[in-house]
Chains A and B, each alone.
Chain A
Amino acid sequence: MTRNRISDATWTAFTESIRFVVLPIMLVNLVMTNYPSLKTAFMPNLATYVLIIGGLIVGASTLECANRPGTYKRLLFGLSAVAFVCFWTFVLFGGGVAEFSYPPYYVRFDMSKILYIVLIGIALKALLVVQTFTSNKHLVVEEQVRRKAEKAVLSAPRPRPASRAVSRAPSFASLSKAAFRVTADDEVGYEPPPPPPPKAPVQDYKECPVCGVKASLWETTCKHCGAWFSGPFK
């Protein structure tokens, strides 16, 4: 994304330089050479003005493209570029008033009203800039929230080990992550030990050896016949 924006900005700088600086200056020189009788308000230094204001347009447009849609920087530079284009147009056309003087004739065109309407048309691009800002703003906010959350996770304190034994537990982190084949146990002559015999169920009572009546393990005498039990008594 960043690389795209940089390439967009570079391309914009190139195209805007052609549109607002190079070609206009060539046209201005052409017109001033071929029509010396044409006079406008800014004609004496028109090429300089076009260069300066065109440079501002190029800068603002480049910075506009260099910032992500939805950011305030892009909005600011976009609106600035539109304002500069309006100003540039006004200066280039001499405020809409042109005079031709070729004696004995003198002709004056006052097209300022049309120029103002054209400026309004140019200013409509500001709506597009605002629209781009409003439609992409939520994406920027969401990304900011996500980054904030990630940053919070990264900056949170790590849990301390619960005990020394845990801390001494084997860690595989330091081991090699290279894959290797594990030799089977039976391939090296290992035989598993025989299974242990099943344990007798534990009785929680004892029988009187005399009368055979069941009694608790902790009884020392049979309650039925009074015979003595042998230990242990639990």
Chain B
Amino acid sequence: MAARTRVLQLAIVLVNLSLIALAFTSIWPFPHGDFKVHLPQAKDVTWSYENGLVHVSAPYSIDNGGFYDVDNLVISYSVTNNTRYQLAGDTFDLGKIPKGSIVPGSLDFTFDLLGFYRNGTQWMIFNDDILNFDIHVSCYYTMKLVKFDASYSTGVTWDALIRSWAVIPRPFNITSPSPYLIDYWLNTSDLLNGLPPAHLNVSFSRNGTLLGWGVSDIQLGGNQKGIVNMNILPGVSVLPGDTYTFAYEIKVMEYPLTDSWNYTVPGG
């Protein structure tokens, strides 16, 4: 009887020691840093703009330095702006990560800014915003006995593509055929550096009759200032009491900026 009890005691001790070892090796890599998930930081996110599409790339890496393989690694993300309008979102399964390996990767996604613009969502084109990245990582560890979930939220500043602009006519003194000078400036996001320039068209008319116009190209990126010459048609004379219309259009890529104003010549 005593021998049987000893054997049972020994068996229980061995089983419990095995379980303690299992629990320890399952938990230890997480606080010790052997298992690390490097989620993308705001400074790591890179942007580019092309043909109305904004390309975003956010690098990440997963370091499995633990004792067991990582199974069913799934990463999902959602990108919304400050008004919780979803710009992008996806889920992808990375599968299995063997122990001792590092898996680098990148969350690459694109959102159609031009499409938003055409659908009436123009805020992000003309205003700064904050893009909220919600990233969720889930996986199994220790032969699927441990489930690990990590969520991460970060806000990345979004600079408006077109921050401000102005077309300012000088004091009204039109004498044909001398040109009429108009000042302008355009402040756009550095994201647009290197893209084809914007086109500025100004016009001068009376009762729908074109009396003069001017054209200029404006480089994109940063604050650009300049003067456009508006050529007045020969023989045009400004009469007191008449109302004249100035109009302009700045076409920044696919986004036209237009305005007009009337001016009535005093007197008459």
Q: How far is the CA of A106 from the CA of B26 in the complex (A)?
A: 19
Per-residue CB proximity of B12-25 to A under 8 Å, as 1/0? 10011001101100
Interface residues of A in 120-164 (CB under 8 A from B): 121-122, 124-125, 127-128, 131-132, 135
Contacts of B151 in A (CB 8 A): 105-107
Q: How far is the CA of A117 from the CA of B20 in the complex (A)?
A: 10
The answer on a CB contact under 8 Å between B146 and A121 is: no
Q: How far is the CA of A118 from the CA of B19 in the complex (A)?
A: 6
Given contacts A114-B22, A114-B146, contact A124 B12 (CB under 8 A): yes
A223 at the interface (CB under 8 A from B): no
Given contacts A104-B154, A128-B9, A131-B5, contact A109 B16 (CB under 8 A): no
Given contacts A122-B16, A127-B8, A131-B8, contact A113 B150 (CB under 8 A): no
Name the contact of A114 in the complex, choosing from B12, B23, B152 (C-beta under 8 A).
B23
Contacts of A207 in B (CB 8 A): none
B181 at the interface (CB under 8 A from A): no
Q: How far is the CA of A118 from the CA of B30 in the complex (A)?
A: 19
The answer on a CB contact under 8 Å between B8 and A128 is: yes
Q: How far is the CA of A121 from the CA of B14 in the complex (A)?
A: 10
Name the contact of B1 in the complex, choosing from A122, A127, A135 (C-beta under 8 A).
A135
The answer on a CB contact under 8 Å between A128 and B12 is: yes
Least CB distance, B27 to chain A, in whole angstroms: 7
Count chain B residues whose beta carbon lies closer than 8 angstroms to a beta carbon of A: 30
B183 at the interface (CB under 8 A from A): no
A contacts with B: majority SS: helix
Interface residues of B in 123-160 (CB under 8 A from A): 142, 144-154
B4 at the interface (CB under 8 A from A): yes
Least CB distance, A117 to chain B, in whole angstroms: 6
The answer on a CB contact under 8 Å between B149 and A121 is: no
Q: How far is the CA of A103 from the CA of B155 in the complex (A)?
A: 12
Q: How far is the CA of A231 from the CA of B1 in the complex (A)?
A: 89
Least CB distance, A209 to chain B, in whole angstroms: 94
A23 at the interface (CB under 8 A from B): no
Contacts of A105 in B (CB 8 A): 39, 150-152
The answer on a CB contact under 8 Å between B5 and A111 is: no
Per-residue CB proximity of A187-219 to B under 8 Å, as 1/0? 000000000000000000000000000000000
Contacts of A125 in B (CB 8 A): 12
Name the contact of A107 in the complex, choosing from B22, B146, B150 (C-beta under 8 A).
B150
Least CB distance, B17 to chain A, in whole angstroms: 9
Contacts of B147 in A (CB 8 A): 108-110
Measured CB to CB, the nearest residue on chain A to B135 is A104
Contacts of B2 in A (CB 8 A): 135
Given contacts A109-B30, A122-B16, contact A117 B22 (CB under 8 A): yes
A–B pairs, 9, beta carbons within 8 Å? A108-B149, A114-B23, A117-B22, A118-B20, A121-B12, A122-B16, A127-B12, A131-B5, A132-B5
A106-B150, A121-B15, A128-B8 known, 17 other contacts, Cβ within 8 Å: A104-B154, A105-B39, A106-B152, A108-B147, A109-B27, A109-B30, A110-B149, A111-B23, A113-B144, A113-B146, A114-B22, A114-B23, A122-B16, A125-B12, A127-B8, A127-B12, A128-B9
Binding site for B on A (CB under 8 A): 103-111, 113-114, 117-118, 121-122, 124-125, 127-128, 131-132, 135
